Every structure is written in C-alpha cells, then in structure tokens.
Amino acid sequence: MTAPMLDRTPGVAGVAGVAEAPATATGTAHAAAAAADPMLPRPFRVTARHLDTRDTVTLALDPLDGVPLAFAAGQFTMLHAFGVGEVPISISGDPRSCGPLLHTIRDVGSVTHALVGATPGTAIGVRGPFGTGWEVGAGQGGDVVVIAGGIGLAPLRPALLELAHDRAAYGRVVLLYGARSPEDILFAGDLARWAAHHRITVEVTVDYGPPDWTGRVGLVTDLVPRAGFDPAHALALVCGPEVMMRAVATALVARGVAPERVRLSMERNMKCGVGLCGHCQLRELFLCLDGPVLGFDRLAPLMDVREL
C-alpha cells in the first residue's frame, strides 16, 4: 500500500457573509491532541470515603500515576465509575493542598450511586479539571458573601478554604447556607471551624426542621437582605438549584451588588467537559468552558428565558 499524501493542512472555509474567525493553527492543535486527549480518563484510587450525610459522600482520590491534579476553586472533573458511566462533579478540596483530590457527591442516580458506593481501593476515572473557577481573589479588600443551597456547598468549599486561609485580605465574610433538613447539613465541622477560627459569619437555614431544631427554617434567599456586608464592595459566590440562584442573585443586585460581582455556578448536562459535545450550551455559552462559574451580568438575560 502506498502511503497517502499527508503534507497538507486541512483548509478552513468560512461561510460568506460572516466575519472569518482568526485562522487556527490546526497543526499545533493536532500535536497537542496526541499528547493529551482530554477524553481519556486517568485512573485514580479511592483512599478514603467519608459519609457526610445519609446520601452524600466525600471521596479522597490519589492518582495511580502519582501526578497530582492541580485545580482552581470552582472547577469540576468528569468522574467515571468503571462500567457504569461518567458525570461532572466539582472538586471540593483545598486548591492549595497537595493531598488527595476530594469530591463530595450526592447519590441521585445511576452514576452517582456507583461513585457514592466506591470503597477505599476502588479505581475511579478522572478527566479534567475543567471550566472556570470562583476567582475568590477578586474579592480581596472587600466583603465576600458565599451563598449555598444543598449540595451547592460542595463546589463552594474550595472557595471557603481559600477565604479562610487568606482571611486577612478580606473584609467581612458571610456564608449563607440552606439545607433540606438538619441531617442534610454538609461539612458541619468546617462550618464550626470557619465561624470559630476564621471570623466567617455562618448562617444556616433548613427547609424542614424537626421540633428539636432551634435554628432557622426558611429559604436561604430570605437571609440575603439581613446579611451584614457592604454591597458596594462585595463579591458574591452562589451555588445551588437554578431557581434559588436566580432569586438570590436578583436579591443581591437589588441590595446594590454589581451583577458582574455576583458569580453563579451553572449546572447543565455535560458529556465532554471540553466544549465538543454541545450538551451544556446556554445560548452562546458552553457552560463547561465559559462556565460553570459566570457573572450574573452574562447570565441574567439567559436565565430570564424559560427553557433556554
């Protein structure tokens, strides 16, 4: 068989009437692709499994190849349960730590069920890290309000760890956290530690409280107007169900926080994490690449349209 001619670069043809995008160096891109195909999972091993609540588990993972995975607070990975499937999960550990990679996972379906059930020793595939981060540092010199609903506290934990670590660089730091019920409260130890040792104001509210619950009952949104922070110099980080995020962001903007300083972590179906599968699109955004963390200035008009 004669070798075919390979001395060509694929042409890039535009559709007339539209501005040409900058020419792309496809040759270089091909070389990069060969080096690291972002679709190939790397095997990690579960080194510890901590039951956070009745349906949520934190897994500690170590890379089998020994190369640690560097990430920014707010980024996610695609976690692969061998023979079951792959889902996007945010990293919940400390971005500064060289220790094991942490993910906090709520059991809601087939893949998360397999992940939550993974015992120490189990191998898990990891792709990533992908996506944008919280950019906590942008809040330095001002107040920071962190608002979480349910499992939404997990993606925010790396940001809170960063705030706690650099506490002196920030003004007031407030965490408003809504859980379904007292027994669904995540990271209770962290919450107590942040409040006691890092001057973080922690306000917890639950949807349903049993008779012996002495804390707050109600929506986390209702805590926003009363939280002590200076809206003109605040950075807000929000993660939770989309309806909750929209309500919270609207309330924050109404209090005077600049929309671009209200950052939300968006959730959509994600199959690739690298902008190729199309699933995570929100109009012109690929939420796996342009997000998941984005400013409310970009998101507000898109969140206003039903089923966009």
Partner 1 sequence: MAGPAILAPSGLQALLDVLRARGYRVLGPQVRDGAIVLAELADAAALPVGVGDAQAPGRYRLRDGEPDRVFGFATTAQSPKAVLFPPDELLWRGRRTADGFSIEPVAPADEPDHRPVAVLGVRGCDVAAIGIHDRVLLGRAHVDAHYAARREEAFLVAVTCSAPGGTCFCASVGTGPRPRAGSDLVLTELTEPHRFLVEATTAAGEAVLAELPTAPATADDLAAADALVEAATAQMGRSLRTDDLHELLPASAESPRWAAIAERCLACTNCTAVCPTCFCTGVEDASDLTGDLDERHRVWDSCFSLPYSYIHGGAVRTWTASRYRQWLTHKLASWQDQFGTSGCVGCGRCITWCPAGIDLTAEVATIRELAEAHDAVAAASDGDVLGGHR
Nearest to 194 by CA among 142, 153, 252: 153
Interacting span for partner 1 (CB under 8 A) from 5-13, 191-199, 202-210, 250-258: 5-13
Q: Does 184 bind partner 1 (CB under 8 A)?
A: no
Q: Which of 109, 225, 278, 301 binds ligand FAD (CB under 6 A)?
A: 109
- Residue partners of 104: CB distance under 8 A and separation at least 6: 52, 56, 57, 58, 90, 92, 151, 154, 157, 186
Residues 259, 298: Cα–Cα separation, whole Å: 8
Interaction residues for partner 1, span 104-123 (CB under 8 A): 108-109, 122-123
Nearest to 134 by CA among 268, 291, 259: 291
Interacting span for partner 1 (CB under 8 A) from 50-58, 93-101, 187-195, 279-287: 279-287
Q: Which of 49, 172, 198, 271 binds partner 1 (CB under 8 A)?
A: 271
The nearer residue to partner 1, 86 or 162, going by C-beta atoms, is 86
DSSP 8-state assignment for residue 36: -
**Count of Cβ atoms closer than 10 Å to residue 161 Cβ:** 21
Interacting span for partner 1 (CB under 8 A) from 35-43, 68-76, 89-97, 246-254: 35-43
- Residues 170-201: b if buried by 16+ CB within 10 A, e if exposed: bebbbbbbbbeebebbbbeebbeebeeebebe
Interaction residues for partner 1, span 73-102 (CB under 8 A): 82-86
Size of the chain, expressed as the number of residues it contains: 308
Question: Residue with the closest Cβ to ligand FAD?
Answer: 109
- Give min distance, CB of 25 to ligand SF4, in A: 24
Nearest to 199 by CA among 232, 172, 180: 172
For the record, the structure tokens of 115 come out as 């992940």
Q: Does 110 bind ligand FAD (CB under 6 A)?
A: yes
Q: Does 67 bind partner 1 (CB under 8 A)?
A: no
For the record, the structure tokens of 197 come out as 């040792």
The nearer residue to ligand FAD, 33 or 84, going by C-beta atoms, is 84
Interacting span for ligand FES (CB under 6 A) from 20-28, 174-182, 197-205, 275-283: 275-283
Q: Does 69 bind ligand FES (CB under 6 A)?
A: no
Interaction residues for ligand FAD, span 10-49 (CB under 6 A): none
The nearer residue to ligand SF4, 283 or 306, going by C-beta atoms, is 283
* Cβ-based burial of 300 (10 A; exposed 0-12, middle 13-18, buried ≥19): middle
Question: Which of ligand FAD, ligand SF4, partner 1, none interacts with 307 (beta carbon under 5 to 8 A by kind)?
Answer: partner 1
**Count of Cβ atoms closer than 10 Å to residue 47 Cβ:** 14
DSSP 8-state assignment for residue 136: G
- Give min distance, CB of 261 to ligand FAD, in A: 21
Token match 């906090």: residue? 104
Nearest to 203 by CA among 142, 140, 139, 148: 148
The nearer residue to ligand SF4, 141 or 278, going by C-beta atoms, is 278
Instruction: Summarize as ranges the residues that interact with ligand SF4 (CB under 6 A).
Output: 278, 281
Residues that bind ligand FES (CB under 6 A): 270-273, 275-280, 286, 288
